[in-house]
Amino acid sequence: MPHPSSSRRSRLISPRFLLLAVTVTSLAVPLAAQTQSDKNTSVKHAADKNVSGEVVNVYSYRQPFLVEPLFEKFTQRTGIGVRVIFAKKGLVERVKAEGENSLADVLLTVDISRLIHAAETVAQPVRSPVLEKFIPAKARSSDDRWFALTYRARVAYVSRDRVSQDNLSYGALAGPDFKGRICMRSGQHPYNNALFASQLAHLGEPAFRTWLTGLKNNLSEKPSGGDRTQVRRIYAGSCDVAIGNTYYMGKMQTNSKKPEQKDWARATRIIFPDAKGRGTHVNVSGMVMAKHAPNRDNALKLMEFLVSEEAQRLYAEVNFEYPVRVGVAPSSRVAEWGSLKPDPLPLETIAAFRKRASEIVDEIGFNN
């Protein structure tokens, strides 16, 4: 009788199994109800020509074009092939449902809440001198279950014509100078929730409630849309300041499919709030190793590769983000927006305040 682990390896290399696996966005949905045309999930085999027979399986929430160049480099360097399942949602739930039979080795995701959820649900600890050396302590978990790969800052997009300030604090955005001049997406969106949790951690609840109420009172309209929607509103003159993630500036500046977004970007500039004080709030993209990773050694090699200078530079450039590894400079385009001084508050600390921050958003009717 074959050993159970050999049975799992045989499933791993079965094209039929991979074809079935890719059609499932959630195991709660019957296989019969899924098709290969499902837009939420797709599978890729990176750099098959260079594969030595060794593989690593990645479940990724990040879009294919953002990570495929990295995996191709990894295969070129190591001979280890990368099999990737991309999905918009449901991957953590899928890995959890698959249990010990899961093929997932590494999971890539964005936003600290999603990263911690993956770590608490489907990850195993990873002890690695390489990861400890090159990822700052504030950007990885104290129990070695999640690791950040890039930073994205939550900044102020301001009108070039109607905002004269060169420096701002988050506190100032709730002050009288910006009455009716701010636009932003939902206060319950994970990006804003992370910012609000950071403010709550810094200020304490009474002062935070006052700040959030002031910010609400300064909105030009009810929160709606995405980050780019707010920049469009600045361009249209509906507001003067928007809160958004840095990488959207790069996406707009280079959007040849929707060239009008280049005009939106040209109408604005970025200010890094609290750059002269405690530092600007940052969120992250990151990775975990799956609890039942069938290719643990290869998974570790991939994770360590992703914090190499080469990978950090490439990953951050493609994503218009900031490398988490100290000493690796951002791309020239990102550097043009200004210097990032990250808030030193550990991401684990921020995450602990997210639930209460969300409750206060509802209590004051921020989105109403």
CB 235 within 8 A of CB 301: no
Whether 152-281+338-363 and 4-150+284-329 are alike in CATH topology: the answer is yes
Least confident of 49-58, 148-157, 211-220, 340-349: 49-58
Q: Where are the domains of the chain?
A: 4-150+284-329, 152-281+338-363
pTM over cut 0.95: no
Rounded CA separation 237/232 (Å): 9
Q: 237-261 pLDDT, tens per residue?
A: 999 999 999 999 999 999 999 999 9
CA 364 to chain centre: 28
Rounded CA separation 187/197 (Å): 11
* Cβ contacts of 212 within 8 Å, gap of 6 or more: 174, 187, 196, 199, 360, 361, 364, 366
Rounded CA separation 244/258 (Å): 19
CB 125 within 8 A of CB 138: no
Of the candidates 88, 94, 141, 85, the residue with the CA atom closest to the CA atom of residue 122: 94
- CATH for the stretch 152-281+338-363: 3.40.190.10
Q: 97-129 pLDDT, tens per residue?
A: 999 999 999 999 999 999 999 999 999 999 999
Is the model's pLDDT at 150 over the cut of 50?
A: yes
To which CATH superfamily is domain 4-150+284-329 assigned?
Periplasmic binding protein-like II (3.40.190.10)
